[in-house]
């Protein structure tokens, strides 16, 4: 699939919950992004470091100079044509899964959103608070409306932790992973080339395996919505 016909990608997301579009970033653009990433001050508290994973939460806020590089013309076109005119950023994370990483992720849905405060609201909960950051499970219709773009800075396949997904699972509401019936469901590995993206709905069941080929995998994960939250609750990372 390519940028030539985003309608195909859009319908693939609607039906299956995900799509892959390669060659979104040129070699030069990737080098510029890499340059910024190599010069980050990694001592901040929003940065998580272990042997298996390096992650930056609120990535676009923490590393503002990356923003213009990430939102190139191709990405802007995808947001406009696949998501819609009114979508804005609501969450961003950078993941670096090193070459020797044993990090794997069991099947799950992304069920929480990041917000600016904790409030008693009907249909919002459970809540979690980490380092003054608030996450909550919102009503289903808010989750169904979100799109996630995963920008791949390295070639990614089943040997270095490409995402596995259960096609069409995004349309089944809250789907507990332990109840997956593999006689009905299928699994698909989403290989993505360096400079490509995967788009998915957060309710699509997804997971990833350990790295076995000694190749790193770096991903910029950005979530988008066009919804305002109720009352005085705000998206904590809202960015147009």
Q: Where are the domains of the chain?
A: 3-225
Give the per-residue pLDDT at 166: 98
Sheet holding 188-189, edge to edge: 105-108, 206-208, 163-165, 188-189
How are beta strands 188-189 and 133-136 bridged, if at all? unpaired
Q: In the CATH hierarchy, which top-level class contains the domain 3-225?
A: mainly beta
How do residues 60-88 score in pLDDT, each as one tens digit? 999 999 999 999 999 999 999 999 999 99
How do residues 83-108 score in pLDDT, each as one tens digit? 999 999 999 999 998 888 788 899 99
pLDDT at 49 over 90: no
């Amino acid at each position: 699939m390519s940028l030539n016909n985003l309608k195909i990608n859009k319908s693939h997301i609607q039906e299956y919950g995900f799509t892959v579009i390669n060659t979104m970033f040129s070699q030069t653009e990737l080098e510029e992004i890499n340059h910024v990433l190599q010069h980050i001050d990694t001592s901040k508290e929003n940065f998580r470091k272990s042997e298996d994973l390096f992650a930056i939460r609120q990535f676009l806020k923490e590393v503002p100079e990356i923003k213009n590089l990430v939102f190139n013309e191709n990405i802007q076109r995808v947001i406009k044509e696949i998501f819609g005119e009114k979508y804005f950023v609501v969450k961003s994370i950078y993941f670096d899964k090193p070459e020797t990483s044993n990090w794997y992720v069991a099947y799950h849905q992304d069920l929480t959103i990041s917000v600016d405060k904790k409030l008693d609201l009907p249909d919002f909960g459970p809540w979690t608070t980490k380092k003054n950051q608030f996450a909550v499970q919102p009503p289903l219709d808010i989750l169904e409306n979100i799109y996630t773009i995963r920008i791949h800075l390295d070639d990614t396949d089943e040997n270095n932790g490409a995402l596995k997904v259960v096609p069409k699972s995004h349309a089944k509401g809250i789907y507990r992973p332990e109840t997956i019936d593999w006689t009905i469901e299928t699994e698909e590995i989403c290989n993505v080339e360096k400079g490509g993206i995967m788009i998915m709905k957060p309710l699509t069941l997804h997971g990833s395996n350990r790295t076995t080929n000694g190749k790193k995998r770096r991903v910029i994960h950005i979530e988008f919505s066009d919804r305002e939250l109720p009352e005085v609750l705000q998206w904590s990372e809202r960015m147009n």
